[in-house]
A and B are shown apart, each in its own frame.
Chain A
């Protein structure tokens, strides 16, 4: 069964350092989402891609966060510089796209980031 892949699974970094997360969606899924899940809370959407285009990044802290999906397939989320408050689980999800939606979002296992 196809799955969303994420790496690394765990990342420990010092504040002010740069960190990057990678996501490979299910093949054929045009829509890709990055969520942040703070411990004890529900996931919050950071950015949504349709193919290689950003369709929603209203909740992305753009002074330190960036996301790209250059070829419309895999995606990278970067934080620079990391702050203590960035400690969270970063989840990637993908779905089909089109007018016949909504389509189920399939989630990867996440990357747990700890900033020290």
Chain B
């Protein structure tokens, strides 16, 4: 079984400041890793994903994340945030060995609030 822990439930930052949203996972098998963003009353949108290869992955809207296997982490970063980045962010994992589809296990989310 897999689990995902997002270490901060809320992260307030000022506009143009850097931000890091932390994610740790637990799994007995190799995993794929994802970050999704959810704006109020909307569905989830994929920001970026790690499948294999380079541990630094770049996504949409200027976000990037780094996979650290030894620390079982996949932290999300952005060097300069905008007001429009205010949203809920979810880290998710899926089992590499999964053959019946890409079942996702989500963390509980981090609310990022960007203040002017």
State the A residues within 8 Å of B (CB).
4, 31, 33, 40-45, 48, 50, 55-56, 91, 93, 95, 97, 101-105, 107-110, 112
Which of A41, A104, A109 touches B49 (beta carbons < 8 Å)?
Answer: A104
* Interface size class of chain B, counting residues whose CB lies under 8 Å from the partner chain: 20 to 34
Interface string of B95-116 (1 = CB under 8 A from A): 0001011111111110000000
Which of A31, A44, A112 touches B41 (beta carbons < 8 Å)?
Answer: A112
- Which residues of A have CB within 8 Å of B100? 48, 50, 55-56
Which of A33, A42, A93, A105 touches B107 (beta carbons < 8 Å)?
Answer: A42
Give the 9 A-B CB pairs with smallest separation, nearest first: A42-B106, A107-B43, A102-B102, A55-B100, A107-B44, A31-B101, A109-B43, A42-B108, A43-B106
Query: Contact: A95 with B101, CB < 8 Å?
Result: yes
Which of B32, B36, B101, B109 touches A41 (beta carbons < 8 Å)?
Answer: B109
Can you name the residue of chain B whose Cβ is closest to the Cβ of A31? B101
Query: Contact: B43 with A42, CB < 8 Å?
Result: no
